[in-house]
Amino acid sequence: MNGNPMLVACPHCGAMNRVARDRLAQAPNCGKCHKALFVGTPIAVSSVDFDKHAQRSDLPLVVDFWAPWCGPCVAMAPQFEAAAKTLEPQVRLAKVDTEADPALGARFDIRSIPTMVLFNGGREIARQSGAMGSAQIVAWVRANLPR
Helix 134-144 crosses helix 71-87 at what angle (to 10 degrees)?
Answer: 60
> Does 73 participate in catalysis according to the annotation?
yes
d(CA 117, CA 48): 18
- The string over 120-142, giving b where at least 16 C-beta atoms fall within 10 Å of a residue's C-beta and e elsewhere, is beeeeebebeebbebeebbebbe
Of 10, 13, 30, 73, catalytic: 73
d(CA 40, CA 43): 9
Of 10, 13, 33, 70, catalytic: 70
Contact 11, 61 (CB under 8 A): no
Spatial CB neighbours of 130, under 8 Å, sequence gap ≥ 6: 72, 112, 114
**Could you list the active site residues?**
70, 73
